[in-house]
Structure 1
């Protein structure tokens, strides 16, 4: 090949390569800028995880969805606490001891009604099966102890391709009729209710699990015991010294 041809090819290579290199660099810079500005735009401020829900939203929860959740406590309790959870969600598992402590301290005294709403996320393949198992346990009046055990044993069943045997073992521990539990799980009897419950999460524009409502005050993520206790005590005070109900939402 002649030197002239080599020179022509080098010139052609340079003419094609450098513009491509510049365009590639500009694309990388653009992606970095978009990523940075996007993260900045969506990063939550310190108060973003707490907000007040509207009266209309609370009325929708009371009138359409509360009856679908698993509830414990006096329906006329001055304050209602609502939790939206996913059994395979690690944050929900971490929050469960706090939720259980609140139930133990406030429900039996008649001060709080606690309602749990299932919101299994598609990213957690065993969450829906776990929710079905818990609701099946509820048909034998064992929802709450089974609910707590699901969270306590989360790491043991979360990654199983089929967690059914683990869920049956939990039923045996809880004193359930495992034959009935197995049949209920196989038929997915509670699934229709669980699917309807999703409307409650959509009504509040659920952003994450767990989400906890104390009256109309929403905490995204599991609030600490101290923060949750303060919110409940403030709602009880707002409800009046006589413990008068204020629509079950603590004011």
Structure 2
């Protein structure tokens, strides 16, 4: 740090000597020359001071302000720590800010067993065959969240299925479309066979472009027994038109066209789409996603495992398989009970 400052000062001194020896001094005149030199020296000193400040004070550099609790934490990822705002940015050299992997696994036997099952089956996260799971307390919270009530259009498969798959999606999200194209058929087929409970949650992160209207329309179609068909059309055919800035925006006439294609009662469709019940339902699902700390789509929760992003269908099948086998060692009730025990390492 001191070295950087001295080099900058040295550079300004060399520049001063060079200007002194050039014939331009006489052309500028003594007064003009002195002003030029003073300005150059001031600029060099200001730059030097800024370099010193930003390299010697880490608190002035941009830092990630997100709390570790803002998102699910994986037992395959070292837990992050957060220093108190009033404390020194240098931790105690003798302190152990995070426990080692053995301690983490001992405190989270359910998650450790998930990892063991995956390894026994030869599944690798590096090869996108499996994803890490959460701490036991987080897993318990995810599993304890109530399922969508029977009769909800966005739910498919038996409510008592051993594995519940929740998909958070937005109809204007390109990666959600990718997930729908590549993985949704497999998930839907498993739900129709009764192997899983599949729940679709509207997370309208592109509501400024009308994705909330698409969600209202899909729910309204669902009230006529056509949610899955209408949702599929939204992803495969779309219901957008370019706005003045060239961005794809949901167009209500195209929402109507999809409804007509499915033979829906248009009067009921419009009434349900614009009803307070429908709009509260969609906004409630979006709020629920936010409360979990999810900030992007698509996101998938399979029992107690959180998956962010679109992956090949085989990965979802593998997680479902591991979660189902995990229930043999840790029944759902036991896993849910872990939510009351904060076994995650303290920050």
TM-score tier after normalising by the smaller chain length:
0.7 to 0.9
Give the whole-Å Cα distance in 1 for the aligned partners of 2:265 and 2:239: 24
Measured against aligned partners, the alpha-carbon deviations of 1:64-123 in whole angstroms (never above 9, x if no partner) come to x63478211100111100011111110101101234222333112211000111111157
TM-score scaled to structure 1, two decimals?
0.77
**Residue 121 of structure 1 corresponds to which residue in structure 2?**
205
Task: Rate the CA distance shift 1:228–1:161 in 2: closer, same or farther, 3 A.
Answer: closer
Measured against aligned partners, the alpha-carbon deviations of 1:162-190 in whole angstroms (never above 9, x if no partner) come to 51011111111122122322333344651
Give the whole-Å Cα distance in 1 for the aligned partners of 2:40 and 2:263: 73
Q: CA deviation at 1:7?
A: 2.0
Q: CA deviation at 1:221?
A: 0.6
Higher-Rg member (1/2): 2
Q: Give 1:227's match in structure 2, choosing from 311, 315, 328.
A: 315
**For the Cα contact (< 8 Å) 1:85–1:211, is it kept in 2?**
yes
3-state SS of 2:332 partner: coil
**For the Cα contact (< 8 Å) 1:69–1:115, is it kept in 2?**
no
Q: CA deviation at 1:27?
A: 5.6
**For the Cα contact (< 8 Å) 1:83–1:211, is it kept in 2?**
yes
Alignment of 1:230-241 (within 5 A): 230-240=318-328
**Residue 201 of structure 1 corresponds to which residue in structure 2?**
289
Relative CO higher for 1 or 2, CA cutoff 8 Å, sep ≥ 6?
A: 1
Give the whole-Å Cα distance in 2 for the aligned partners of 1:26 and 1:152: 57
Alignment of 1:41-52 (within 5 A): 50-52=132-134
Alignment of 1:97-112 (within 5 A): 97-112=181-196
Q: CA deviation at 1:238?
A: 3.0
3-state SS of 1:117 partner: strand
**For the Cα contact (< 8 Å) 1:72–1:107, is it kept in 2?**
yes
**For the Cα contact (< 8 Å) 1:134–1:147, is it kept in 2?**
yes
Q: CA deviation at 1:135?
A: 0.9
3-state SS of 1:74 partner: coil
Give the whole-Å Cα distance in 1 for the aligned partners of 2:227 and 2:34: 77
**Residue 29 of structure 2 corresponds to which residue in structure 1?**
6
Residue correspondences, number: 236
TM-score scaled to structure 2, two decimals?
0.57
**Residue 61 of structure 1 corresponds to which residue in structure 2?**
145
Give the whole-Å Cα distance in 2 for the aligned partners of 1:228 and 1:13: 68
Measured against aligned partners, the alpha-carbon deviations of 1:191-245 in whole angstroms (never above 9, x if no partner) come to 11111113321332113210111111111112221110111122223334xxxx8
Task: Rate the CA distance shift 1:51–1:41 in 2: closer, same or farther, 3 A.
Answer: farther
> Structure 1 unaligned runs (5+)?
none
Task: Rate the CA distance shift 1:203–1:66 in 2: closer, same or farther, 3 A.
Answer: farther
Matched, 1:246 2:269: no
